[in-house]
Structure 1
Amino acid sequence: MGHIQRRCVRHHGLYRRPPRGDQILLAAGSSVEPFWVLYGMHKTAQVLEILERYRIGNLRKEDVGQMSEDMSDPYSNDPIRHAALKPASKKPFNAECPLAILVQSFITPNELFYVRNHLPVPNVDTETYELEVEIEGTNKTATFTLDELKKFPKHTITATIMCAGNRRGDMMKVKPVKGLNWGPAAIGNATWTGVRLRDVLLKAGLDEDDTSYNHVQFEGVDIDVTGKMYAASIPIWKALDREGRRPASVRNEWGAYPQRPRLSYTGYSSGSGGGEKRKVTVSKVESDSHWQQFDYKGFAPCVDYDSVDFSKSPAIQELPIISAICVPSENETVQVSEGHILVKGYAWSGGGQKIVRVDVTADKGEKLACCQFRCAGYGIAASALVLDPVVEIWAKAVDSCYNTQPERVEHIWNFRGVLSNAYHRVTVHLKR
């Protein structure tokens, strides 16, 4: 293999100098099919169009057959999910709850909780599972089995988890962005019971008065084809929260495996630390993982892949205020009753901020109707006066720090398609 031509095999073709990427280039000179099988969310028309420019030939049929026999599906053991979930991708499986169902209950049913995977679902054996905790720069390390973790004091919280790419589909309507085409339901609310991360760290020997540490890093049990594990980090003050609102929780997750060990953080992106963990490291620096350094970050609308400097943007931690209309749905025909229609949805703000108000309008802001909450800090149930046969309903929320949503998605568009929290808009047809 020379510097002029790199060969890779995909979709039975030969391609010259494939698109760059540290992991994909590991396949230079041989098959990249395992990489494309693993990162199935990139099998899009846009990516295939880019690849087509590099095609230099096609494989012989006999070679294709041999190659196909050698390939195994890393997703073959993934759990079967509920049929009501709306997939954003199938391999890895990512899906959201139907909007009308999402607002039926303050607590999202386990089976209908949104699913966010970057890699195949790991088969966690609860009998042999161990969580390793390391205090970096010292000889303090500890290993806890699941049974040992269960002996810690139990704590229960109700916490909302949301993907940083929730409502990415709104940004895609402006212009293409990288990532899954999420609607407004990459979010869920659950009751979590488990062990406080603070308690685990102190048991492992961390001195909470030692101010030399700034971050807590998490390494997952899910592994990609290069052997790298999903990893991210949070600030140490979040991990040592004395109020105990951020437990390293254990719950039955989506019917996949009983008592899978997970980490949950109130008000944080699900990419910051959610998921099954095998190692926790108290560190002076944040995680150097791809996801922390080159993925979950937000940028200005003028930044693109050619001009981006990832080092100049912080990793997403606490998420901005957001809301979404769940009922009625886009282009639905709605019966008008005494000049009004019923609008339902959700509102949520990161960092533990309370929702204090949600406004809806059916006349582009000329008149705003304040909503009534079904549950504190969550949910919309409001009536708005409507006259036209087709109306666009807007919703915006305000939290306890008086943060509110930007009016237009164009103003916050970014090439990663994250932090999409502009006014939510739904067009409906009225039936009188």
Structure 2
Amino acid sequence: MQDPFNAEPHRADLISSFVTPVDFFYKRNHGPIPIVEDLERYRVSIGGLVEKPIEVSMDELRKLPKYSVTATLQCAGNRRTAMSKKRTVKGVGWDVAALGNATWGGAKLSDVLELVGIAKLSTMSSLGGMYVEFISVDRCKEEKGGPYKASIPLRQATNPDSDVLLAYEMNDEVLNRDHGYPLRVIVPGVIGARSVKWLDRIDIIKEECQGFFMQNDYKMFPPSVDWNNINWSTRKPQMDFPVQCAICSLEDINVTNNGKITVAGYAVSGGGRGIERVDISVDGGKTWIEAERYQKSNIPYIADDDLASEKWAWVLFKAVVDVPENGEIIAKAVDSAANVQPENVESIWNLRGILNTSWHRVLVRKESSVAKSSL
């Protein structure tokens, strides 16, 4: 097995269910997967700019109210391969499946922070802390052998409605090693890099985390920036993920002899925004039809309706369309804030290949068309 170990499922397997089975959930690591064997001695330290730092055991965390949050985690580099076909980028060559939708179980971070005297909905601790830094057991070369770390604003961490969890369960089972056993952070609505696995420490700090993956990676630059003129300090760390969708029922190039074909996939947006529409075109974007959207069985999906939707989770879509003679099928999503995916990857190309949210395109050819073209 390679270190670091990174893997994604096949497209079709990814959308076989609303909640992604653990075996189909993408794996993203920056170093060797750590082993935490002695759960009795395992503790999470909570300190920094607080008046009463503590250490918390798993038993103590389990005594806090348990919450279940269904949330999609997505690597910032999802769909990087398509971006790299335009111009070379640096990073793991993900297809369209570097994401997954799971039900996470654990304690809300807002409850945990009350143990060190930080009230819910706080924007600053009594000692001036404005960010919450998560530090992992994981060690990685980018941190020169130090731990992986990331941070979020204190106002987000202390807001119960943000649903930030210290999770010890995934899909009603104990977290496995690949996904952060025994404890990980889940920060819904933002890029997966902020949901730190194998949690070791939580520090309340004055400024955002100065770690490599906050300050020298996972930032969005314009297409004009390359490795010769990049200045990392000119951009903020990426947090929310833009609106995104991808076709998973089809590969990049497909040949069929059927008259109809099913176009199915996922759509998701950051910040808890719902999916208002998924548009499908079978003629390269000249005309469009609206796909069916769904999450829970027998409950119509309504964007931003708490009774009808899981706001942190992806939305699946499906449409049955006529097969074009020799054409391009496109999917694009619109979220509840009317944000729409950009048409072309060129306009959002960046040297790290993150946030490729351009229209997703696949080619479909009728078998008869292929036969004629070969004569």
Q: Normalising to structure 2: TM-score of the pair?
A: 0.86
> Pick from 192, 198, 205: which aligns with 2:104?
192
Residues 60-89 of structure 1: CA deviation (Å, up to 9, x unaligned): xxxxxxxxxxxxxxx7xxxxxxxxxxxxxx
Residues 352-405 of structure 1: CA deviation (Å, up to 9, x unaligned): 1101110011112111010002324511110223431x2211110001101110
> Pick from 329, 338, 345: which aligns with 1:393?
329
SS in 2 for 1:238: helix
> Pick from 136, 154, 163: which aligns with 1:245?
163
| Residue 259 of structure 1, CA deviation | 5.1
Structure 2 counterparts to residues 10-409 of structure 1, below 5 A? 90-125=2-37, 126-136=39-49, 138-208=50-120, 209=122, 211=124, 212-224=128-140, 226-243=144-161, 245-251=163-169, 252-254=174-176, 260-337=182-259, 340-375=260-295, 376=301, 378-388=315-325, 390-409=326-345
**2:73·2:99 contact (CA, 8 Å) conserved in 1?**
yes
CA distance in 1, matches of 2:255, 2:348: 30
* Alpha-carbon spacing, 1:257–1:246, altered in 2? closer, same or farther (3 Å): closer
**1:192·1:249 contact (CA, 8 Å) conserved in 2?**
yes
* Alpha-carbon spacing, 1:206–1:113, altered in 2? closer, same or farther (3 Å): same
**1:369·1:383 contact (CA, 8 Å) conserved in 2?**
no
1:52 corresponding residue in structure 2: none
Mind listing any 5+ residue stretches in structure 2 that lack a counterpart?
A: 296-300, 302-313, 369-375
* Alpha-carbon spacing, 1:350–1:210, altered in 2? closer, same or farther (3 Å): closer
CA distance in 2, matches of 1:171, 1:316: 18
Code of the aligned partner of 1:247? L
CA distance in 2, matches of 1:308, 1:257: 32
Mind listing any 5+ residue stretches in structure 1 that lack a counterpart?
A: 1-74, 76-89
CA distance in 1, matches of 2:83, 2:201: 35
Q: Normalising to structure 1: TM-score of the pair?
A: 0.75
| Residue 335 of structure 1, CA deviation | 3.9
Larger mean CA deviation between 354-363 and 211-220 belongs to 211-220
Residues 189-243 of structure 1: CA deviation (Å, up to 9, x unaligned): 0001100011111112224546343211110001136440001111112111222
1:427 corresponding residue in structure 2: 363
| Residue 431 of structure 1, CA deviation | 3.7
CA distance in 1, matches of 2:114, 2:190: 22
**2:19·2:103 contact (CA, 8 Å) conserved in 1?**
yes
Structure (1 or 2) with the larger CA radius of gyration: 1
1:66 corresponding residue in structure 2: none
| Residue 346 of structure 1, CA deviation | 0.5
CA distance in 2, matches of 1:107, 1:114: 13
Larger mean CA deviation between 356-365 and 254-263 belongs to 254-263
Q: Which has the higher contact order (CA 8 A, sep 6+)?
A: 2
**2:175·2:183 contact (CA, 8 Å) conserved in 1?**
no
For these two proteins, the number of residue pairs brought into alignment is 340
Code of the aligned partner of 2:6? N
| Residue 127 of structure 1, CA deviation | 2.3
Q: State the identity %.
A: 37
